[in-house]
Amino acid sequence: MSKNVTITKARTVRIDSELWNTSEWLLKAGQERAIGYAHQFRTSLVFTAFALEAYLNHIGPLFLKTWGGNRAKAHADGEADLALRASES
């Protein structure tokens, strides 16, 4: 006798925190294993970079009002990017 059960739960996930935890876990795993440790460390570094990027994207709007969509468009054009940065200073 099996019943179908649906569980729903809402929560806020901070992806930077999730990525940081993954990075830490990979670092510890690399420190504990002698074989293949270089891959563990390299992967930990990649997840650390992703975590930093996610954190900056999280706090960016608190410091720069143009952090959202305008920045991506302006970044494609170097001169527009410089003008946008100069206007924020």
The answer to pTM > 0.75 is no
User: Chain centroid to CA 1: how far?
Assistant: 43
- pLDDT value at residue 72: 56
> In the structure, what pLDDT confidence band is assigned to residue 80 with cuts at 50, 70 and 90?
low
Q: How many CA atoms lie within 13 A of 19 on its CB side?
A: 15
- pLDDT value at residue 75: 56
Give the residue ranges of DSSP H helices in 2-67: 15-32, 37-63
pLDDT digits (tens, 9 = 90+) for 9-47: 888 888 999 999 999 999 999 999 878 789 889 999 999
- pLDDT value at residue 76: 58
